[in-house]
Structure 1
Amino acid sequence: MKRLNVKKIIRNFLVALICVIVGIVGGITVLMNTDSEIFAEKTNKTSEVALVKESLKELSEWTTLKYEYENVIVSRTSKTLPLPGNHDINYAEAIKLIEYSGYLKAGTNLKEIQLILDEETKQASVKLPKSQILDNVAETKKMKVEDIKGNILSDYPPQTIIDEINSNKKQLEEEKINQGFLEEADKKIKIMVTDFLASHGYVVSVEFY
């Protein structure tokens, strides 16, 4: 009888041990599957955000605001002959008419976009850098320079033309900024980004920093 009881105890112990081992293995499997699902979900979300960001970067050229202009400058140079009594005589005045065209571009750097997508609520939160001037180009190869006044003694260095154009470029840029050119660029970018994400089913909020 004692031998039977010992065998019975051993058998029951082994059965219990096997059950514990099976339970532990099952628990580990469940945890691993859960972690895998969570990791896969995070990976999918990260991949989706990255994909949307890349798509938005491709819109960079479309989101810039361009202002084309034509300008005319009247440029003067002269030589003076000093005379007693603080009286100077201009004896070699040169006047040139400079016609040129150019453009301004304003926009933001979409590579610095901060994007949060919520798949459950279909909410998209977007933060973008404020617009800035990206290009200020004067097409000097197409410019026209007309002599209005001058003579053989006149001295008008070619660099003066470039200096005049650069000075006017800067002045025009400041005028356009004061007129709200950068704010117009922000509005254009906001509309483009909102429409793009809305086409993917998101309700979009856009902020500039």
Structure 2
Amino acid sequence: MSRLVLSLIATTLLAATHAAEPPPATLPFDPETISRLSLDGKPRSLAIRQGDNTWLGYDLERATIFRTWQAPKGKSGLIKKDFTTKSTGTSWFKDDSDTPWKLQRGDSTLPLQIRYLGCSHRQDHIELRWELRHDTHIINLHERIPLAAAPASDRVLRELRATPLAANESLLPPFDTTWTWSPSSSPAITGTDWHRLTLTKP
């Protein structure tokens, strides 16, 4: 048998071995930290716990938060039944509107189509990802929810980033001015840096 044939056989066997290897294992989501069951009657939604007793509810179709609340003392903050959950505790923020994300480009405000890309459980945060599209222009929206409790002066801490955005573009969020923005006080996402949002205690 020629050296070329032997080489081809060895290459084929090596490729088959790699193909048979399972992908790297992923850790399951901790149900005490993230619930991917629909929340409060919203079909595509999930809930994430921050700290010991703060919960954030996300509307995945709108790419935004629609609930934050504090769980009752000594309880989880979620009532689970079948494949749904209901928030329970002290409500801090609620948004049942249909207001969408918009793209500000110069003097024009443009509509966006939203596609949820998924979530991942990192060591110190949960990350959510969406694709926002206007015509052929695609913007990737990322949100990080730290698992540690928010600073003492705040109730909730979130971090958002969008890429790519041109110098004359900004993302206008669907939620209201209840949230405090940093580093800019303007409720909009610009550039490529992470933007810090907090729900400040009254």
**Greater helix share, 1 or 2?**
1
Same fold (TM over 0.5): no
TM-score (norm 2): 0.22
**Greater strand share, 1 or 2?**
2
Larger Rg: 1
TM-score (norm 1): 0.22
Higher relative contact order (CA 8 A, sep 6+): 1
